[in-house]
Amino acid sequence: MPAALKNLIDPIRAAAAAQAPLCIRGHGSKDFYGEPPQGERLDTTAYTGLVSYEPSELVVTVRAGTPLAELEAALAEKGQCLAFEPPRFTASDGVRQGTCGGMVAAGLSGPARASVGGVRDFVLGVQLINGRGEHLTFGGQVMKNVAGYDVSRLLVGSLGILGVLTEVSLKVLPVPPAEATLVFQLGQDRALAQLHRWGAEPLPLNASCWVRDDTARGTPELLFVRLRGASAAVESACRKMLQDLPGTRMDNTQAGPDWTACRDQHLPFFDPAAHPDTALWRLSLPPTAPVLDLPWPQLVEWHGGQRWLWAPESARVQLRQTAHDAGGSATLFRPAHADGAGTGNRFAALKPPINDIHQRLKAEFDPAGIFNRGRMYPHL
């Protein structure tokens, strides 16, 4: 057994015996997400490295403590990528941008999510340490490898409450040969309607972003659409879409950094200084949901399926009711203040049957309740 793995298992067994909480942490780049971490820190960053990478098979297996930047650099050398574009948030040291284990545990995806799928769709297998200190393997390195419950994908977005990820096997994809970004000046209602029409056509839509540009004269409302795929398909789609609506094609040298900023929440919209004393809320909705009757600034991604807005934490009930009425949910993504003190209730309450499943899973994987206690809900 590698020493770095033993250094994870031993503290877990000791914590389970003492029923003492552990805070699973890599770079800490997503400490803001979910309830504030509790317990003694269990550092995963020593367990690093690419275990295997088969570019011809489009599969990579990586240890959970490996920096996400290191994995993406290795893929880029072979012309491949993580198609779901996981966001890279800067840790408190201002340098590190998260680990591969943190990427899976948070389950967050970037602009291309609505077209290519999310983290869960690319996880093939995992290894983890449960609350008994057992090192377990689930799934493998191919898509059809699961008989029964797919535990590997269950762990995506679990925020570490079920166990400590040690290895992850992921499906990767080639970087698309062509890319183009079109921009249209449209209100949100027209933008959503047009995206739905385009979505019903054989167009290589990859990502979209609607936002009101408060930095420009007249504060125009803009819809950005990214196309990716074969060169002929992208060029044909550009001609067709610019015939449907008046718009412009951006230079890729400008559009590329803008999409990266959208992915990593570095756009001006996401600047907390521009929205003092308000929290960043994430609304997950059906893409066909209408424009929401809310007075706060919004940015819309995923062809309407993900809507960001800045609103006071006191608007929690209104936002959650509005999201529920539209068939979705609202999450307090970033609190109004960096320490997040007193925020609580960041995720929408679970319905009784789902809550029961969560509790039974927690009891099975982590019977002493030591992992990331209260990170999602007080009772988990």
Q: To the nearest whole percent, how much of the chain has pLDDT over 70?
A: 95
Which residue type sits at 177?
A: P
Instruction: Provide the pLDDT confidence category of residue 168 given band limits of 50, 70 and 90.
Output: very high
How far is the C-alpha of 116 from the C-alpha of 112, rounded, in Å?
6
What pLDDT does residue 140 have? Answer: 72
Mean pLDDT value across residues 234-249: 97
The CATH number of domain 3-174+350-365, selected from 3.30.465.10, 3.20.20.120, 2.40.40.20, 3.40.50.2300: 3.30.465.10
Q: Are strands 40-43 and 22-25 parallel, antiparallel or unpaired?
A: parallel
CATH architecture group of domain 271-334: 2-Layer Sandwich (3.30)
User: What token pair was written down for 333?
Assistant: 């993504």
* pLDDT at residue 213 is higher than 80: no
Structure confidence by residue, pLDDT tens digits, 256-303: 999 999 999 999 999 999 999 999 999 999 999 999 999 999 999 999
Mean of per-residue pLDDT scores for the chain: 93
Please, which pLDDT band fits residue 216 given cuts at 50, 70 and 90? low
* 152-163 per-residue burial string, b: 16 or more CB within 10 A, e: under 16: bbbbbebbbbbb
Q: pLDDT band for 341, please (50, 70, 90 cuts).
A: low
Parallel, antiparallel or unpaired: strands 306-311 and 298-301? antiparallel
Instruction: Specify the pLDDT at position 141.
Output: 60
**Residue 145 pLDDT > 70:** no
Q: In the structure, what pLDDT confidence band is assigned to residue 95 with cuts at 50, 70 and 90?
A: confident
Confidence of residue 5 (pLDDT cuts 50, 70, 90): very high
- The CATH 3.30.465.10 portion of the chain extends over 3-174+350-365
Mean pLDDT, residues 239-266 taken together: 97
Specify the pLDDT at position 148.
55
Question: Could you tell me which of 218, 199, 221 has the C-alpha nearest to residue 209?
Answer: 221
Question: Is pLDDT of 217 > 80?
Answer: no
SS3 assignment for the chain? CCHHHHHHHHHHHHHHHHCCCEEEECCCCCCCCCCCCCCEEEECCCCCCEEEEEHHHCEEEEECCCEHHHHHHHHHHCCEECCCCCCCCCCCCCCCCCEHHHHHHHCCCCCCHHHHCCHHHHEEEEEEECCCCCEEEEECCCCCCCCCCCHHHHCCCCCCCCCEEEEEEEECEECCCEEEEEEEECCHHHHHHHHHHHHCCCCCEEEEEEEECCCCCCCCEEEEEEEEECHHHHHHHHHHHHHHCCCEEECHHHHHHHHHHHHCCCCHHHCHHHCCCCEEEEEECCCCCCCCCCCCCEEEEHHHCEEEEEECHHHHHHHHHHHHHCCCEEEEEECCCCCCCCCCCCCCCCCHHHHHHHHHHHHHHCCCCCECCCCCCCCC
Of 111 and 378, more confident: 111
Res. 340: pLDDT tops 70:
no
pLDDT class of 36 with cuts at 50, 70, 90: confident
Predicted local confidence at residue 10, as pLDDT = 97
Q: What pLDDT was estimated at residue 380?
A: 79
| 42-77 pLDDT, tens digit each | 999 999 999 999 999 999 999 999 999 999 999 999
The answer, yes or no, to whether residue 11 has pLDDT greater than 70, is yes
Distance CA 188, CA 211 (A): 8
What pLDDT band is residue 78 in, cutting at 50, 70 and 90?
very high
Determine the Cα angle at 370 with ends 92 and 345, to 5°.
65
**pLDDT at 342 exceeding the cut of 70:** no
366 closest CA partner among 117, 76, 159: 159
Give yes or no for residue 7 having a pLDDT over 70. Answer: yes
Assigned token pair, 54 = 């088969």
For residue 296, the Cα-to-chain-centroid distance in whole angstroms is 23
| CATH 3.30.70.2190 residue ranges for the chain | 178-263
pLDDT of residue 1: 81
Q: What is the pLDDT of residue 237?
A: 98
What's the Cα-to-Cα distance from 273 to each of 91, 103, 189, 229, rounded to whole Å?
A: 18, 26, 28, 37
Class (C level, CATH) for 178-263: alpha beta
Encode 187-224 in three state secondary structure: CHHHHHHHHHHHHCCCCCEEEEEEEECCCCCCCCEEEE
Is 181 in contact with 249 (CB distance < 8 Å)? yes
Q: Is pLDDT above 70 for 85?
A: yes
- Range of weakest confidence among 224-233, 301-310, 369-378: 369-378
* Residue 343: per-residue pLDDT: 66
